[in-house]
A and B are shown apart, each in its own frame.
Chain A
C-alpha cells in the first residue's frame, strides 16, 4: 500500500490548468412544429435565459422566411440569429438568381449544408423548419447542430423537448393507442400546442413568459401570441 502512494509523492504530476474562453452559451427555450394536411404550425416560447437568470422575457425564436416557410431555433441565441441571417441572405440571392422564392424543401437542404459547413466549430442551434411543401401539404424538417436532417410530421426541440415529445407522439402520431389514425384539424393542433407549452412551463425553468405560434397555410403566415407563466 505504501509503494503506490510513495510513487505518487516522489513523482508528482503537474498538469497545466488552462482557462479557456467558452464561446457557447445555452439560452434555453423550447420550440415545436406540427405538420397538418394543408397547414403547418411552428410554436416557440420567447424567454431568453443565461444560467439561472432571465435575459429577456420577449426574444422571439421563430422567424418567417417566406410566405410558406418558418424557421425556429433554440440553443445558443447568438449562433441561431447568425444562422437565420445567413439563411435569409441566401434566400434573397436565390430569389435574385432564379426569380422565385425558395421552396421549403430547398431551404431544408440548404440549411443542412450550412450547418455541416461549420462541422468543426458548430452552430449550437437546434433547428426546426416548418412550412408547406410544393404540393401544399404541411412539412416539418428537424435538424441536429451539425446538419443531420429528416422530414417528420411533428417534432419539438429545446430545453423541454423531453417533456413535450412523448405527449406529441401519443396525441399527434397516436402511438401506443388503438385509435384510428386521422388527420387532425388546425384548431385541435393549436390546442395541443398550447397545452404542451403550458405544461412545459410548469416544469421547465427555461420555458415561459410568452408563446408565439406561427400558422402557415395557403393564405400565408399568421402569428398568434399568448401569455405563459412568468415564474
Chain B
C-alpha cells in the first residue's frame, strides 16, 4: 500500500524503496531527486543510513509542579499525527518506581522505547536484590546519559521528558530534552507549556513564597488552570488529561479528567454564531 500521495497516479519507481524492504541493485549513480529521499524516507539497501529524524506521532506539553507534600505532574491523553488528533487515550505519564513518574512529550514511539529501557533497568535492579531501589535522581541521571549519547550519535530520541519523584523526604522535579540538556526547577513545563503554563506556575509559586507553601489541593487547582489555558491556546492539545501525584506514600496517577471551558462568546462572533 502506497501511503505517499505524491506517488499516486504514477507507476511505482524502482529507485525508491520507502520501507527498506528488499536489497535494490543500483546501476545508476544515485543522485537525490526528491526531498523525501534526502530526509531519510527513500532509502533502499546500499544507501548510507541517514539518522536525522522528525517526530511522527507526538504528545504535547507535560507539566510538573513541586508542592508541600511532594510532586505533581499533568499531561493530556492525546497523541497527534501532525495536525490529526489520532490517538485520544494515550497515557503520557508513566510510573517507573514506587516513588518516580516519567512524563513524555514529543515522539511517542521513542517514549515507548524509553519505557522499555526503564523497565529493563528496573528488572536488573530487582535481580540485584541488594535492598536498594533506584531513586528519582538515579533514574534521572541514567535517562540523561541515554538522551545525551543518542544526540551525540546524531540520532536523538525526539522527546522532552519530565521526571518527578520523592526520595528520603526530598522532592525531585527535572526535565531532559532531546539534546540531552538536563535542568531542575520547582516548576517544569515542556513544549507549548513552557510559554503558556510556566508563567502561571512560576507566579503561583512566587506569590506563596515558595513551593513548600503550596498544598496538594492548591497544586491540583494550579495544574488544572494551566491545562485549561493550554486547551484554549495549544492547537495540538485535548481536554482530557491525567494528574500524577508523588508523595512519601507513593504514586497515584488519576483517571482521565476534563476542565470546564467557556465557548459561549463564539455565539456573538459573526461567522461562528452570529
Once bound together, how far apart are the Cα atoms of A73 and B35, in whole Å?
39
Q: Is the CB of A55 within 8 A of B185?
A: yes
Q: Is the CB of B183 within 8 A of A77?
A: yes
Smallest CB separation, B147 vs chain A (Å): 8
Contact with A along B186-221 (1 / 0, CB 8 A): 000000001100100000000000000000000000
Q: Is the CB of A50 within 8 A of B181?
A: yes
A121 interface hit (Cβ, 8 Å): yes
Contact with A along B39-54 (1 / 0, CB 8 A): 1000000000001111
- Contact check: which of B35, B53, B179 meets A16 at CB < 8 Å? B35
Contact with B along A5-40 (1 / 0, CB 8 A): 000000000001111110111010000000000000
B140 interface hit (Cβ, 8 Å): no
Q: Is the CB of A77 within 8 A of B182?
A: yes
A219 interface hit (Cβ, 8 Å): no
A223 interface hit (Cβ, 8 Å): no
B156 interface hit (Cβ, 8 Å): yes
Once bound together, how far apart are the Cα atoms of A82 and B144, in whole Å?
10
If the complex has contacts A23-B151, A53-B194, A55-B175, are A18 and B38 also in contact, measured as CB distance less than 8 A? yes
Residue from B38, B51, B182 whose CB has the most chain A CB atoms within 10 Å: B182
Once bound together, how far apart are the Cα atoms of A17 and B51, in whole Å?
16
- Contact check: which of B154, B183, B185 meets A23 at CB < 8 Å? B154
Contact with B along A46-60 (1 / 0, CB 8 A): 001010010111110
Once bound together, how far apart are the Cα atoms of A55 and B182, in whole Å?
9
Q: Is the CB of B179 within 8 A of A78?
A: yes
Q: Majority SS of interface residues in chain B?
A: mixed
B: contact size bracket = 20 to 34
Once bound together, how far apart are the Cα atoms of A18 and B34, in whole Å?
11
Residue on A nearest B148 in the bound complex, by CB: A78
If the complex has contacts A16-B38, A19-B39, are A59 and B148 also in contact, measured as CB distance less than 8 A? no
A110 interface hit (Cβ, 8 Å): no
Q: For chains A and B in complex, what number of residue pairs have CB atoms within 8 angstroms?
A: 61
Q: How many residues of A contact B (CB 8 A)?
A: 24
Q: Is the CB of B53 within 8 A of A78?
A: no
- Residues of B within 8 Å of A56, CB to CB, are 183-185
Residue on A nearest B32 in the bound complex, by CB: A16
Q: Is the CB of B32 within 8 A of A78?
A: no
Q: Which residues between 41 and 76 of chain A lie within 8 Å of chain B, taking CB atoms? A: 48, 50, 53, 55-59, 76
- Residues of B within 8 Å of A50, CB to CB, are 181
Smallest CB separation, B60 vs chain A (Å): 16
Smallest CB separation, A212 vs chain B (Å): 15
Once bound together, how far apart are the Cα atoms of A16 and B40, in whole Å?
13
Q: Is the CB of B156 within 8 A of A59?
A: no
If the complex has contacts A18-B38, A58-B185, are A25 and B175 also in contact, measured as CB distance less than 8 A? no
Smallest CB separation, A24 vs chain B (Å): 7
Q: Is the CB of B52 within 8 A of A23?
A: no
- Contact check: which of B180, B184, B195 meets A78 at CB < 8 Å? B180
A87 interface hit (Cβ, 8 Å): no
- Residues of B within 8 Å of A76, CB to CB, are 179, 181
B258 interface hit (Cβ, 8 Å): no
- Residues of B within 8 Å of A163, CB to CB, are none
Once bound together, how far apart are the Cα atoms of A58 and B198, in whole Å?
15
Q: Is the CB of B175 within 8 A of A20?
A: no
A81 interface hit (Cβ, 8 Å): yes
- Residues of B within 8 Å of A77, CB to CB, are 181-183
Residue on A nearest B149 in the bound complex, by CB: A82
Smallest CB separation, B254 vs chain A (Å): 27
- Residues of B within 8 Å of A27, CB to CB, are 181
Once bound together, how far apart are the Cα atoms of A214 and B148, in whole Å?
28
Q: Which residues of B contact A (CB under 8 A)?
A: 32, 35, 38-39, 51-54, 144, 148, 151-152, 154, 156, 175, 179-185, 194-195, 198
* Additional A-B contacts beyond A17-B35, A23-B179 (5; CB < 8 A): A18-B38, A19-B39, A23-B154, A78-B179, A82-B180
